[in-house]
Amino acid sequence: MNSRAVSFEGQQVYIGLDVHRAFFVASCVCDGLAVKRCRMPSRAEAVISLISKYFPDSEVSTCYEAGYSGFWLHRELEAAGISNIVVHAASIEVAANDRVKTDKRDSLKLATQLAAGRLKGIRIPSLEEEYRRLLPRTRDQISRAIRRVQNQIRMRLHQFGLVPEDLNRVLRVKDAEAFLDKLEGDLKFSLERLVEQWKCLLEQKKELEKRMRVQAKEDPLEALYRSVPGIGVLTARVLSTELGDMSQFPNIRALYSFTGLTPSESSSGEKVQRGHISRQGSSRLRYMLIEASWKAVRKDPVMKKFYEELKLRCGARKAIVATARKLLGKARAVIRDGKPYERNYRQAA
């Protein structure tokens, strides 16, 4: 259908955007039909121009998948008066026989599911919230880079059969440098470069953690999060910057969903079975909460009793995930009431 020759005045148009660094691909759906597909520069102005040119008198809704591109596009579209949502990738339905992935297919899938009302937008953080998250997230990136360099050093040593008796000791800077003194030539030179990179990353991590401590002192939620057993300095920073006061979540299930702790469900007739966690939501928050739960089990008799009883019934893995949900519920109650954690603190409803 040639959208130039057809008027869409007064009609509802749905646009799915497949967002890339270099370009966007848009698919436009109206009344169940794909009426326009195009590729454009990766700028909000290009999307706005598309709508102004082809659908000036239509009700337009747009959507794109959450990812590296963040929320700048959403903010610019909303500022231009365009209704937009950002959707979690795991919430986009995929047909069993849909094995071919292309930009046009992805954008059309978004548009058709948006038109059918099957997509739900995620919460959009404010710019201030995004800025506050940068320190813990950058620290995570640097920590991963440190592990990569350590692994490169380990692999290089293995490559030439130079495996010390205690390999873990080599992965401390002072021991690595002492070991390098025994080497020579290009092998020594290349390993020295990796060790220098490692030392630089460690220094950057130290500077970030210093800045995070300053941020924590200015955060009224810090002491409340830290009062919950299992939640240490780093976890408190991440939870405070990612979740804030949690007022954006209407209930505890919405909070579980955001943090990736919602159990999957399957139903048959009147039976509903809950299985493994759905894996939607933030994998980073899920990992940190589970790690914090292991600490809470060791520190808090109430949490230990809860975990041990569940472990007997459903195994350690499910028990620790349930403990993480309980820990998160207790943290929510603490933040909601503005009072530090006390043993037997009631969980938020």
Is 304 buried (19+), middle (13-18) or exposed (0-12) by CB count in 10 A? middle
pLDDT in tens, 233-242: 999 999 999 9
Q: Does residue 151 belong to any structural domain of this protein? A: yes
Instruction: Give the phi and the psi of residue 179 in degrees, each rounded to 5.
Output: -70, -35
Q: Does residue 349 belong to any structural domain of this protein? A: no
Q: How many angstroms separate the CA atoms of 167 and 175, rounded?
A: 10
Q: How many angstroms separate the CA atoms of 143 and 283, rounded?
A: 17
Q: Does residue 4 belong to any structural domain of this protein? A: no
Q: Which residues form the domain of 192?
A: 127-217
pLDDT in tens, 305-322: 999 999 999 999 999 999
Is residue 166's pLDDT more than 80?
Answer: no
Question: Residues 155, 86: one domain?
Answer: no
Q: Does residue 293 belong to any structural domain of this protein? A: yes
* pLDDT value for 218: 95
The CB density around residue 190, as the number of other CB atoms within 10 Å, is: 14
CATH of the domain at 84: 3.30.420.40
pLDDT in tens, 147-163: 999 999 888 888 888 87
Last-in-domain residue among 115, 143, 170: 115
Q: How confident is the model at residue 69 (pLDDT cuts 50, 70, 90)?
A: confident
Question: Residues 177, 248: one domain?
Answer: no
pLDDT in tens, 175-221: 778 888 888 899 999 999 999 999 999 999 999 999 999 999 999 99
Q: Does residue 58 belong to any structural domain of this protein? A: yes
Question: Residues 254, 314: one domain?
Answer: yes
Q: Does residue 348 belong to any structural domain of this protein? A: no
Question: Residues 155, 194: one domain?
Answer: yes
Region 48-59: mean pLDDT is: 96
Q: How many domains does the chain have?
A: 3
Question: Residues 247, 328: one domain?
Answer: yes
Question: Residues 111, 39: one domain?
Answer: yes
Question: Residues 19, 72: one domain?
Answer: yes
* pLDDT value for 169: 57
Q: What is the pTM of this model?
A: 0.80
Question: Residues 269, 310: one domain?
Answer: yes
Q: How many angstroms separate the CA atoms of 257 and 273, rounded?
A: 17
Last-in-domain residue among 91, 115, 139: 115
The CB density around residue 230, as the number of other CB atoms within 10 Å, is: 22
Question: Residues 230, 325: one domain?
Answer: yes
Among 76-80, 110-114, 262-266, the range scoring the smallest mean pLDDT is 262-266
Q: How confident is the model at residue 348 (pLDDT cuts 50, 70, 90)?
A: very low
Question: Residues 333, 235: one domain?
Answer: yes
Mean pLDDT, the chain, whole residue set: 87
Q: Does residue 29 belong to any structural domain of this protein? A: yes
Q: How many angstroms separate the CA atoms of 206 and 202, rounded?
A: 6
Q: Does residue 1 belong to any structural domain of this protein? A: no
Question: Residues 82, 138: one domain?
Answer: no
Last-in-domain residue among 115, 146, 164: 115
